[in-house]
Amino acid sequence: MERELKCLVSKEQYDQIIKSYDFSKSWIQINTYYDTTSKQVKKQNAAVRIRTIDSKKIFTLKIRKDKLTHFEYEKEISTDKIDNINDPEVLSWLQKLNLSEPLKKTVVIQTERRIYRTEEAELCADYNIFNDIHDYEIEYEYLKEHDGIKTFNEILHPFHMKYEKNCPSKIARAFDYILCSKR
């Protein structure tokens, strides 16, 4: 189970936040998302991704439980090509989607991720690039059950911010940006 809160922030707010906390971990990750031509994954409120960090490749299947929670199936794999996955466990996760078409690459997102870890959660500061669109996002990812909204708001308060869900997921934003650029 994955529970997270996220909000889009301005570059100025992002810069203030990363200067105010000891974001000891930082890396670049390439997130490649997949769906079928008829969007069978999206229609099931799910997402299929291969994340590459250096030479490490991680397969992820997320299925929404509610607006804050996802079931997340994740495993390191040996390939960055969806058609070359032969891990039986990963293939069994994909079978849960009952897809009638092959998966194809839909969008690639590059993220510079910084993490500040507390006992209860990870605060992630993400700088995302979708084609030539850049955005900034702060995520609060639960590590254990607690009043995360209250704690996240305590973190945001010094920056004159309050948590309100103001952004869809990275993949949904990427699709929105792509649709807007085609208009």
pLDDT average per 10 residues of sequence, the chain (183 residues): 90 96 92 95 94 97 86 96 96 96 94 95 95 92 94 95 82 70 52
Q: How many residues does the chain have?
A: 183
pLDDT at 23: 92
Check if the beta carbon of residue 18 is closer than 8 Å to that of residue 177: no
Q: Could you tell me which residues come within 8 angstroms of residue 20 by beta carbon, excluding any fewer than 6 positions away? A: 158, 159
Rg (CA), the chain: 17
Q: How far is the C-alpha of 76 from the C-alpha of 79, rounded, in Å?
A: 9
Phi, psi of 43 (to 5 degrees): -65, -20
Residue 182 confidence (pLDDT): 55
Q: How far is CA 100 from CA 15, 46, 50, 85, 106, in A?
A: 45, 15, 20, 17, 17
- CA distances in angstroms from 138 to 7, 42, 51, listed in the order given: 6, 23, 19
